[in-house]
Chains A and B, each alone.
Chain A
């Protein structure tokens, strides 16, 4: 699986949009971009994933650049409960394809 690079930490004011970047310059054509988050002392939670088109669900939006070398996770209206470590992972599809976690971005949402 391709490696990803994320900023170590970010701050965001509550109610504002949180934009979390991820670089994956060595991504292969069959690899998807997945985002998970981990709230303290819990298991990671799936957020969203995409291949090359932008995606949106009830939790977030995923913007993937045309060359697929980077992406941005957008939480449109961050709340205190969004404080967590966010992981960007690239992997091929399939339930036997393992997930390899990098260091992630620690997002702190403040009042």
Chain B
């Protein structure tokens, strides 16, 4: 079946530094990937749509200069949280689709900014 790998599973970083999260489709090619953010006890909020070979499409209210997305190949998308602050602490999840069976999600990355 379709597998999406996300790395790292958790990361702690200092305020002001940048953090990169990787999302890989292991057994299929994904021209489109999605990035979500989830705060405790809340639902998933779509941040952006990552498009292979072109610019990402960001949802309203999401700062594109703060959340840099790169989708340089058909199997890899990265999300970089730049100049991270404590309010960026959250659970970040990526997903990609394969055929008619809906999307497969990564296991998520828990980011803690201290």
Indicate whether A and B interact: yes
Pairwise interchain contact B99-A95, C-beta atoms closer than 8 A: yes
- Complex contact B103–A46 (CB within 8 A): yes
Indicate with 1 or 0, residue by residue over A78-101, a CB within 8 angstroms of chain B CB atoms.
000000000100000111101111
> Could you tell me the distance in whole angstroms from the C-beta of A30 to the nearest C-beta in chain B?
13
| Segment at the B interface, from A10-18, A20-28, A37-45, A66-74 | A37-45
Question: CB of B104 within 8 A of chain A?
Answer: yes
Q: Is the CB of B101 within 8 A of A46?
A: yes
A46-B103, A49-B102 as given contacts; A41 in contact with B110, CB under 8 Å: yes
Q: Select one of A45, A46, A99 contacting B46, CB under 8 A.
A: A99
Consensus secondary structure, chain A interface: loop
Does B49 touch A at the CB level, under 8 Å? yes
Given A99-B46, A102-B43, verify A43-B98 contact (CB < 8 Å): no
Residue of A nearest to B49 (CB): A98
**Could you tell me if B105 and A44 are in contact, using CB atoms closer than 8 angstroms?**
yes
Nearest Cβ on chain A to B6's Cβ, whole angstroms: 7
Could you say which residues of chain B place their CB within 8 Å of the CB of A46? 101-104
A101-B103 contact given A41-B108, A43-B108, CB 8 Å threshold: no
Task: Note all chain B residues with C-beta closer than 8 A to A36.
Answer: 102, 105
Residues of B within 8 A of A43 (CB): 4, 6, 93, 95, 105-108
Q: What is the minimal beta-carbon distance from B28 to any residue of chain A, in angstroms? A: 10
Could you say which residues of chain B place their CB within 8 Å of the CB of A44? Answer: 44, 93, 95, 105
A71 to chain B, nearest CB (A): 15
Which chain B residues lie closer than 8 Å to A42 at the CB level?
Answer: 107-108
The answer to whether A54 has its CB under 8 Å from any CB of chain B is: no
Residues of A within 8 A of B98 (CB): 95
A98 to B30, CA, bound (A): 13
List 5 other contacts, CB 8 Å, given A46-B102, A100-B46: A34-B102, A42-B108, A96-B31, A99-B34, A101-B36
Residue ranges of B at the interface with A (Cβ–Cβ < 8 Å): 4, 6, 30-32, 34, 36, 43-46, 49, 91, 93, 95-108, 110
> Can you list 5 A-B contacts (CB < 8 A)?
A41-B110, A44-B105, A46-B101, A95-B30, A101-B44
